[in-house]
Amino acid sequence: MNSAIILGGGLSERFGADIPKQFIEFNNKKIIDYSIHTFLNNNLINEVIIVVPVPWIDLIKKKYKRCKVVIGGSTRFESMLNGYNQISNQSKNILIHDAARPLVSQKIIDKCINHLNKYDAACPYIDIVDSIVSKNKKSINYLNRDEIKKIQTPQGFKRNILDDFSKRKPFGSDDISMAIHYNKDISVKFFKGENKNFKITNNIDMHLFRGAIDAI
């Protein structure tokens, strides 16, 4: 059994909107709806858990009766735990996805799950196209962009991996970084993601998202 946790529990304070960005509407759908629909329509996903802030619980529960809907925490890690605690006992593989990545594709979901047949975890990435520097007060050093990648979600895990690091103290900015930090022997398959699977963090991203939807 394969489960997915969609993390939409943040308040989007950096985005500066009146409501969390994942609940902004475009074409009569909220941003969070796009990824929910994609996961619900994936043949490999058996269960979807949606994590949202308290004010949105009733709305999302009413709209998605097939899903488990839980309250988000004060941090991303707490939201992930709240979702993880609702996972079915039969679930063997778990994908964790940011609701702020509404354009996730069926192809990425399929790849993430299929890689878990051989690996403990799987994670999509995209290449860096800009020049990259490491800068401090004394020096600037150019880095090899071929060795630097941008990490995306969904990030997939065997159940035992999440069982382990869910009991630990939070570390890093995503689930893969935490899993690797606490288990140096973990086997992770990093695979090519898609540029359109970007995370909406500012108004420019929102403009790109609207353009991508209009083009479909």
This prediction's pTM: 0.94
CB 99 within 8 Å of CB 7: yes
pLDDT digits (tens, 9 = 90+) for 34-92: 999 999 999 999 999 999 999 999 999 999 999 999 999 999 999 999 999 999 999 99
Confidence grade of residue 214 (pLDDT, cut at 50, 70, 90): confident
- How far is it between the farthest Cα atoms of the chain? 56
Tokens at residue 2, please? 């394969």
> What's the rounded mean pLDDT across residues 19-46?
95
Q: Which CATH class is domain 2-215?
A: alpha beta
Q: ω before 102 within 30° of 0 (cis)?
A: no
- Is residue 207 over pLDDT 60? yes
Minimal CA–CA distance to 9: which of 83, 91, 63? 83
The whole-angstrom separation of Cα 195 and Cα 174 is: 19
